[in-house]
Amino acid sequence: MTDDASVLAEADYVIVGSGSAGSALAARLSESGRHSVIVLEHGGSDAGPFIQMPAALSYPMNMARYDWGYVTEPEPHLGGRRLACPRGKVIGGSSSINGMVYVRGHAQDYEGWAQAGARGWAWRDVVPYFRRMETSHGGEAGWRGEDGPLHVSRGPMTNPLYRAFIEAGREAGYETTDDYNGRKQEGFGPMEMTVWRGRRWSAANAYLKPALKRRNLRLIRCLVERVVFDGRKAVGVRVRQTGRPRTVRARREVILAASSINSPKLLMLSGIGPAAHLQEHGIEVLADRPGVGGNLQDHLEIYIQKICKEPVSLYPSLNLAAKAWIGARWLFTKTGLGATNHFEAAAFIRSRAGIEYPDIQYHFLPVAIRYDGKAPAKSHGFQVHVGPMRSPSRGRVRLAAPDPAAAPSIQFNYMSNEKDWADFRTCIRLSREIFAQPAFERFAGPEIAPGDEVTTDEALDDFIRGAVESAYHPCGTCRMGDPDDAEAVVDPEGRVIGADGLRVADSSVFPRITNGNLNGPSIMVGEKMADHILGRDLLPPDDREPWLHPDWEARQR
What confidence tier does 5 reach under pLDDT thresholds 50, 70, 90?
confident
Q: Taking the model in full, what pTM does it have?
A: 0.97
Q: Which domain range does residue 160 map to?
A: 156-190+300-388+416-467
Identify whether 532 is a catalytic site residue. no
Check: CB of residue 282 under 8 Å from CB of residue 42.
no
Check: CB of residue 498 under 8 Å from CB of residue 509.
no
- Cα four-point dihedral sign 372, 374, 375, 379: positive
pLDDT at site 62: 87
How many other CB atoms are there within 10 angstroms of residue 418's CB atom? Answer: 9
Q: Which residues have CB under 8 Å from 353's CB, separation 6+?
A: 552, 553, 554, 555, 556
Render pLDDT for 326-352 as a digit per residue (tens, 0 to 9).
999 999 999 999 999 999 999 999 999
pLDDT at site 48: 86
pLDDT at site 389: 98
Side chain identity, residue 358: P
State yes or no: pLDDT of 1 exceeds 60: no
Q: Which of 151, 385, 473, 549 is catalytic?
A: 473
Q: Tell me the C-alpha to C-alpha distance, in Å, between residue 159 and each of 162, 308, 363.
A: 6, 13, 15
Does residue 283 lie in a domain region? no
Does residue 460 lie in a domain region? yes
Does residue 142 lie in a domain region? no
Render pLDDT for 114-147 as a digit per residue (tens, 0 to 9).
999 999 999 999 999 999 999 999 999 999 999 9
Between vectors from CA 303 to CA 413 and to CA 323, what angle results, nearest 5°?
120
Helix (H/G/I), strand (E/B), else coil: 523? helix
The separation between the first and the last C-alpha atoms of the chain, rounded to the nearest angstrom, is 57
417: burial class by Cβ within 10 Å (0-12, 13-18, 19+)?
middle
Q: On the CB side of 31, how many CA atoms lie within 13 Å of its CA?
A: 15
Render pLDDT for 468-498 as a digit per residue (tens, 0 to 9).
999 999 999 999 999 999 999 999 999 999 9
Q: How many structural domains comprise the chain? A: 1
Give the percent of the chain with pLDDT over 90: 95
Render pLDDT for 304-320 as a digit per residue (tens, 0 to 9).
999 999 999 999 999 99
Check: CB of residue 160 under 8 Å from CB of residue 312.
yes
Q: What is the mean pLDDT of residues 231-260?
A: 96
State yes or no: pLDDT of 543 exceeds 90: yes
In whole numbers, what is the pLDDT of the chain averaged over residues? 96
The CATH number that applies at residue 344 is 3.30.410.40
Return binding residues for FAD: 12-41, 90, 98-101, 224
Residue 277 φ/ψ, nearest 5 degrees: -65, -40
Q: Are strands 444-449 and 244-256 parallel, antiparallel or unpaired?
A: unpaired
What confidence tier does 56 reach under pLDDT thresholds 50, 70, 90?
very high
Q: Give the DSSP letter string of 368-408.
A: ---TTS-S--SSSEEEEEEEES-----BEEE-S-S-TTSPP
Does residue 135 lie in a domain region? no
Does residue 430 lie in a domain region? yes
Q: Which of 221, 270, 265, 266 is nearest to 89 (CA)?
A: 221
Check: CB of residue 200 under 8 Å from CB of residue 53.
yes
Residue 85 φ/ψ, nearest 5 degrees: -135, 75
Render pLDDT for 199-233 as a digit per residue (tens, 0 to 9).
999 999 999 999 999 999 999 999 999 999 999 99
Q: Which residues have CB under 8 Å from 420's CB, separation 6+?
A: 300, 388, 391, 392, 393, 414
Does residue 384 lie in a domain region? yes
Side chain identity, residue 156: P
Q: Which of 388, 344, 370 is nearest to 516 (CA)?
A: 388
Q: Which of 303, 236, 273 is nearest to 13 (CA)?
A: 236
Does residue 445 lie in a domain region? yes
Does residue 325 lie in a domain region? yes
In b/e form, how buried is each residue of 476-512, taking b as 16+ CB within 10 angstroms?
bbbbbbeeebeebbbbbbbbbbbbebbbbbbbbbbbb
Give the C-alpha separation, 414 to 324, whole Å: 39
Render pLDDT for 369-381 as a digit per residue (tens, 0 to 9).
876 666 567 889 9
Give the C-alpha separation, 99 to 117, whole Å: 31
State yes or no: pLDDT of 60 exceeds 70: yes
State yes or no: pLDDT of 2 exceeds 90: no
pLDDT at site 266: 98
State yes or no: pLDDT of 87 exceeds 60: yes
